[in-house]
Every structure is written in C-alpha cells, then in structure tokens.
Amino acid sequence: MTEDGNPKDLVPNTRIRLEFAEQPNPNEEGPRVYHCFGAYAGCNQLGASAAAGELLADGRLWIDGYFVTQQRCEPPLMVQDEWLTRFLVSKPSWHLNDGQLTLASAGTAITLLDRKIAEPDFPLDGRRWKVDTVIIKDGDLRQYHHGAEEAWITFDGERLTGWTGCNELSGVVTRTRTELTFTGVTTTDHACTGETAEVETAILTTLRATVTYTIDYNRLTLLTPAGTGLDLTANR
C-alpha cells in the first residue's frame, strides 16, 4: 500500500482481503446474476452486491450501497476499517495483471496478490485435519460442539487414520479430484459420552461411503449426498 507515493503500513498481524463472487438471483425480476464483493482488514466485514457487469464497470470499483458488520474492536483496527471503507467507496480504478490486483484512488494505491498464489491450498495428504464443525443440513447449517474432545483424521495415500475424541479409527480411502470413497472404516470400542459421542457419530456417518471434498487453503469440507458432513482445519 502507498499514499502519495509513500509506503503505508497495516496494523500489525492484519491483512486486507477482498473477495469477488457471482450469485444467482432467486427472484424472477431483476438481473439473473449478481456480482458480490467482500472486504476484511482484521475487524469488521464490508459487503456489497451489484448487477452483473456493474461492480467493475469502466475500469472502476462501483460500491454504491454496502453493509458493514458492527463488531467492536481495538481502536487501531476500527480506524483501519474506516480508512479502508472510505477508499473502497471512492470508486477506485482497478487493474489486474498476472495474479495481482491494484486499486488506486486519490493518491492511494493497494496491490493485492491472488489468494491461491499467496496462500496455496494445503495438500490432502500428510496433514492432521481437526474436526471444527458438524454440517447437519443441506451443506449449510453448522453445529459447534465446544464441549467435545478434539477429533481429527489424516490421509496417507489409500490409508485413513484418525481419532474420534475417544476412539482410534482407521480405514481405506480412494479418491478422484472431487470425491473420496471410504471402505473398511473401523474404530476401537471405548464408550463416548456427551458431545464427544455426537461428534463421533457425525464422523462415522460421514465416512460411511462416498463424499465430495473441497480444500480452501487450510480448510477441508467433506459433504455427503444428503448434505451433511464435516468442516476440518489443518495447522498453518
């Protein structure tokens, strides 16, 4: 980042993240597709949407209406959020070149690197994937189990191993680019209780057959055909 040609620093241990996405319009009226925009710099999140083609029209970022979450943070983070919001709504010019996006307005410029380059997705193998949440409905509704013992799974080629929170597990896994098929999954036979038992049930239900999987940096999502599954993370 620069202001009037001079480097500008972020609050320590923060980054600016921008996200662009497409979302279909569920209503019969209006544009068929909306372009969505999100921004985050360590505290609150800014979001906006526009009809397809309008968000980045004429070489500028057009944010005419937006929302901002209302989380209270330390003063330096709040000031940084306000500064970023003012910049983003000033209709900055944009230029994309070889994975780098540059926004510029009134002497201020921000250059961002494509997330897939800055933070490549973790490989599936050789990581301990910790179970964070259980997906209980339609791939969307998450359930947290704060009282459960930590559970995890690992992949090593065709070998699956893990810990349900109270039992060891093992099995065989085969894969395509988008799916994992589990066979022969077995566990030790210790009785689980409370939330740990619920998490174990969710793990074994997910590992019962074929699931789709996606990796987003250090986050792994396993999703069954019924829309249930698991969210997992690996240490950075």
204-235 tens-digit pLDDT: 999 998 999 999 999 999 999 999 999 999 98
CA nearest neighbour of 108 among 42, 72, 61: 61
- How many whole angstroms separate alpha carbon 30 and alpha carbon 44? 29
- How many whole angstroms separate alpha carbon 236 and alpha carbon 30? 42
- How many whole angstroms separate alpha carbon 69 and alpha carbon 162? 37
pTM score of the predicted model = 0.68
pLDDT at residue 71, as a whole number: 86
Q: How far apart are the first and last CA of the chain?
A: 25
Largest Cα span, the chain: 66
According to DSSP, the β-strands at 100-105 and 108-113 are antiparallel
What confidence tens digit (pLDDT) does each residue in 128-153 have? Answer: 999 999 999 877 788 889 899 999 99
pLDDT grade for 27, boundaries at 50, 70 and 90: low
- How many whole angstroms separate alpha carbon 129 and alpha carbon 134? 13
DSSP 167: S
